[in-house]
Amino acid sequence: MTRWTTTDIPDQTGRTAVVTGANTGLGLETAKALAARGARVVLAVRDLDKGKRAAGQIAGDVTVQELDLGSLDSVRAAAAELRTAHDRIDLLINNAGVMTPPRSTTADGFELQFGTNHLGHFALTGLLLDRLLDAPGSRIVTVSSNGHKMGGAIHFDDLQWERSYSRLGAYAQSKLANLLFTYELQRRLAPRGNTVAVAAHPGTSSTELARHLPSLARPVTELVTKVAAQPAADGALPTLRAATDPGVLGGQYYGPANLAQWRGAPVVVASSDQSYDIALQQRLWAVSEELTGVTFAV
């Protein structure tokens, strides 16, 4: 089987893609590749200056949208501006994320990783959904991580980790939430037969995401990065395939093919048994609607 690369991305002329966290790392590489194939790309970023510098690195039709996923007010404002600017959105790439910071909270009081990685993207997707439903062949791609397998169950009794905080545990929970959200969203979208929801993970990639890792974990991380990590451009390939390959089916999960999914060509991979639990997906959905105040038109 031929290795899938950016040369396999179909022509994206006339399509609009919104990529969160697109000023660096995987998001920037995703934006570059989509723009190179003709898409209008919106870099949805927290820091406008960094977003503008990133836009200067991309050849094509690129704009910058302020978006702080750690603030529901910012998410609502960004969604309103995007809805005004675009009658339709063909691709929503929920890429932005934080990993293993010391415990802190979003502007709305949510644990930072759960609030940013999951709740912010949940709200943004819901607020933009009608623009996606109006676009033939539209896709919602949410970037998870194989770290979702490390954290046990969703902590419904302490979602914000107020009683006891684990950096890695909270990260894993947020990444599991990305998958539970994707699978439940796809089930709700399926009867319409147009928009699909897909997930992806980058394997082990050289990005800034791990900058908050505890000092005790850094030697191991540095060794793994040196031995096995792939460049960010390769880490973006599962996201790009999920977003553009004509053969993609809703509810699939894309990741690297080799070395325990650390690196390699993007292929369909399996997530944890827990991620496929329908009751868990629906429970998280209901809690997410309650916490964000955002409901979906599906």
Q: What integer pLDDT is reported at residue 217 of this predicted model?
A: 47
Catalytic residues: 171
User: How confident is the model over 61-77, as pLDDT tens digits?
Assistant: 999 999 999 999 999 99
User: How confident is the model over 260-272, as pLDDT tens digits?
Assistant: 677 789 999 999 9
Q: What integer pLDDT is reported at residue 213 of this predicted model?
A: 52
Q: What integer pLDDT is reported at residue 262 of this predicted model?
A: 79
User: How confident is the model over 28-38, as pLDDT tens digits?
Assistant: 999 999 999 99
pTM for the model: 0.92
User: How confident is the model over 74-106, as pLDDT tens digits?
Assistant: 999 999 999 999 999 999 999 999 999 999 999
- Work out whether strand 91-94 and strand 139-143 pair parallel, antiparallel, or are unpaired: parallel
With bands split at pLDDT 50, 70 and 90, how would you rate the model's confidence at 207? low
Taking 50 as the threshold, does the pLDDT of residue 222 lie above it? no
Q: What integer pLDDT is reported at residue 221 of this predicted model?
A: 47
Mean pLDDT calculated for residue range 225-248: 88
Q: Which of 84-93, 199-208, 222-231, 232-241 has the lowest mean pLDDT?
A: 222-231
Mean pLDDT calculated for residue range 19-46: 98
Taking 80 as the threshold, does the pLDDT of residue 115 lie above it? yes
Q: Which CATH class is domain 11-292?
A: alpha beta
Q: What integer pLDDT is reported at residue 248 of this predicted model?
A: 98
With bands split at pLDDT 50, 70 and 90, how would you rate the model's confidence at 152? confident
Q: What integer pLDDT is reported at residue 147 of this predicted model?
A: 93
Mean pLDDT calculated for residue range 180-184: 98
Domain extents in the chain: 11-292
